[in-house]
Amino acid sequence: MKAKYWLCKRKEIFFSFDSTTGKRESLHTGDREAAKQIIRAKNDAATQPAINISIAKAYLVGTDPKLVERTWAFVIQEFCAVKKDSSRLRRERAIKSPAFNFIRNKRLVETTADDFQNVLKSGGVFTQHTLRCLHNLALGMGWILAPVIPPKLWPRIEKKHRRAITLEEHQRIIQAENNTERKMYYELLWEIGSAQTDGSKLTTANINWKNRLLSYHRQKTGELCMLEIGARLESLLKQLPSEGALFPKIITLKDKDRAAEFRRRCRLLKIDGISLHSYRYAWAWRAKQAGMPERFAQSGLGHGSLAVHREYSRDGVAICPSLENYESKVIPLQEAEKQLARVS
C-alpha cells in the first residue's frame, strides 16, 4: 500500500509531506531517526482505518456482492422510480439540488454523518426531507447496515408558515384580476377548497346537475371529493364552459406557472404569507367556524380518515353539504375572522 506521508527536509528541519493533499507540515526536529519514527506513526495511523474497512468489505461481499459498490446515485434512482407522474417529477426536481452532490457518487458503506451534515447545511427544509427519505429507503432495503444519523439526532424540520387566505384578501385579488378565467378559477378555489391542480383539471363531467353534486378524485391521494352545489357555486359554474374543461387555458399550465402568477398578483397587492394552497386552509377554517361536521369537511377536502371510513363505509360515500348553507346559519364570516385575529 502506498504510504500517505513522506519525509522531506528543508533548512535542517524535517517535514511530513501528505501525498494526497500535497500539504507539508513541520515535524519540529532535525534528527532523521526521530523524524522517521514520526512519519512511521503517521502512516500507521492513516493505514489502520483503511485496513479495517477493507476487512469489513471482504465480509460484506460474501453476503451481498453489490453491497460495497452501491452509491447514493443508485438509491436516488430507486427513490425516483414511482408510478405517479406528479410524485416522480417532484422527487426528480428535489434531487437536482446541488446539496446532494456531496453524496451523489459516494459509496453507501463509506458514508459518514459528516457527509449528511454537509448536505443538510447546504439545503433547506425540502432537502432535509428528501435526504431523510433516501436514508430510510436505503436502511429499510438493507443497503446500509446502520443509520448514518440516529433518528433522534436529525435536525427538527421548521416548515415555512402558510396561513389561510382571508375573505378581504380574496376579494382584493378578484377585484384586481383582469383575466376572467383566472378570476373564475380563484372563485372556484374559494368555494370548493380544492388543490390548485385538482381545480384546474375539472371538467363538465365532474358536475352532476341532476343531483346537484360536484365530485372529483384528488390527484395526490386518489381520495374522492364530493360536494353539494349551493347557490353561489351554481352561479359560478353557470358562467363557465358548458362542455369540456372548465378552465381551458389554465388546465394547460404547469402548477409552478399557476403558482407564479398568483404570487405576482399577491406581490402587487402587498399580500404576504399565502399561496394557492391557502384556499384549502381557508375552506377548512370556514367549515370549522360554520360548525360543519368533520366527516363532511374531510369528504369535501379529500382527506382520508380511518375512523371516518370505519364508521361510514356501511352507508357508502359521505356527500359534503354546501358550505354556503352552513355559513348562512352562523355569524358573518368577517366577524369570525376578527375573532380569529384577536386569538392569534
Residues 327 and 241 both lie in one domain: yes
Residues 228 and 305 both lie in one domain: yes
Specify the pairing of strand 207-208 against strand 224-228.
unpaired
Residue 119 lies inside a defined structural domain of this protein: yes
Residues 110 and 219 both lie in one domain: no
C-alpha cell at 138: 436505503
Evaluate whether 289 touches 269 at the Cβ level (below 8 Å): no
Task: Single out the residue of 73, 145, 149 nearest to residue 117, CA to CA.
Answer: 149
Task: Single out the residue of 198, 258, 197 nearest to residue 225, CA to CA.
Answer: 198
Residues 15 and 136 both lie in one domain: no
- C-alpha triplet 199, 201, 204: angle, nearest 5°: 95
Collect all residues with Cβ–Cβ distance below 8 Å to 73 and sequence separation of at least 6. Answer: 104, 105
- Positive or negative, the CA dihedral 127, 130, 136, 141 is negative
The Cα–Cα gap between 82 and 85 comes to 8
User: What confidence score (pLDDT) does residue 184 get?
Assistant: 95
CB atoms < 10 A from the CB of 309, how many?
12
User: What confidence score (pLDDT) does residue 319 get?
Assistant: 65
- Which of 2-6, 156-160, 236-240 shows the lowest mean pLDDT across its residues? 156-160
Residues 213 and 297 both lie in one domain: yes
C-alpha cell at 16: 511530513
- pLDDT over 90, % of the chain: 38
C-alpha cell at 262: 398568483
User: What confidence score (pLDDT) does residue 310 get?
Assistant: 42
pLDDT band at 23 (very low <50, low <70, confident <90, very high): confident
User: What confidence score (pLDDT) does residue 306 get?
Assistant: 46
For residue 285, the surrounding DSSP H or E stretch is: helix 278-289
Query: Which of 13, 31, 63 is the C-terminal boundary of a domain?
Result: 63
- For the stretch 271-316, pLDDT in tens is 988 999 899 888 888 887 777 777 787 888 887 654 434 433 344 4
Residue 238 lies inside a defined structural domain of this protein: yes
Evaluate whether 283 touches 187 at the Cβ level (below 8 Å): no
pLDDT band at 335 (very low <50, low <70, confident <90, very high): low
pLDDT band at 261 (very low <50, low <70, confident <90, very high): very high
Residue 206 lies inside a defined structural domain of this protein: yes
Residues 219 and 115 both lie in one domain: no
Q: Is the pLDDT of residue 13 over 50?
A: yes
C-alpha cell at 27: 515535524
Evaluate whether 298 touches 221 at the Cβ level (below 8 Å): no
Residue 29 lies inside a defined structural domain of this protein: yes
* The total number of residues written for the chain in this structure: 344
Residue 125 lies inside a defined structural domain of this protein: yes
Residues 53 and 119 both lie in one domain: no
User: What confidence score (pLDDT) does residue 10 get?
Assistant: 85
The residue segments making up the domain with residue 18 are 5-63
Residue 161 lies inside a defined structural domain of this protein: no
User: What confidence score (pLDDT) does residue 181 get?
Assistant: 94
User: What confidence score (pLDDT) does residue 175 get?
Assistant: 94
Q: What's the burial of 157, exposed, middle or buried (CB within 10 Å: 0-12/13-18/19+)?
A: exposed
For residue 26, the surrounding DSSP H or E stretch is: strand 24-26
Q: What's the burial of 126, exposed, middle or buried (CB within 10 Å: 0-12/13-18/19+)?
A: middle
Angle subtended by helix axes 72-80 and 85-95, to nearest 10:
150
User: What confidence score (pLDDT) does residue 293 get?
Assistant: 79
Residues 261 and 189 both lie in one domain: yes
- Which residues is 262 bridged to in the sheet? none
User: What confidence score (pLDDT) does residue 126 get?
Assistant: 86
pLDDT band at 2 (very low <50, low <70, confident <90, very high): confident
Evaluate whether 80 touches 95 at the Cβ level (below 8 Å): yes
- Summary mean pLDDT of the chain: 82
User: What confidence score (pLDDT) does residue 160 get?
Assistant: 65
Residues 244 and 315 both lie in one domain: yes
The total of structural domains in the chain comes to 3
Residue 227, classed as helix, strand or coil, is: strand
Instruction: Look up the pTM and report it.
Output: 0.60
- For the stretch 210-220, pLDDT in tens is 999 999 988 87
Average pLDDT in the 64-73 region? 79
Residues 95 and 177 both lie in one domain: no
Query: Which of 22, 38, 63 is the C-terminal boundary of a domain?
Result: 63
Average pLDDT in the 318-327 region? 71
Residues 222 and 310 both lie in one domain: yes
Residue 162 lies inside a defined structural domain of this protein: no
The Cα–Cα gap between 223 and 33 comes to 77
- For the stretch 264-279, pLDDT in tens is 999 999 998 899 989 9
The Cα–Cα gap between 53 and 49 comes to 6
Task: Find cell 421548521 and name the residue.
Answer: 158
Residue 290 lies inside a defined structural domain of this protein: yes
Query: Which of 13, 28, 63 is the C-terminal boundary of a domain?
Result: 63
Q: Is the pLDDT of residue 336 over 60?
A: no
Residues 81 and 187 both lie in one domain: no
Evaluate whether 283 touches 301 at the Cβ level (below 8 Å): yes
The Cα–Cα gap between 331 and 76 comes to 52
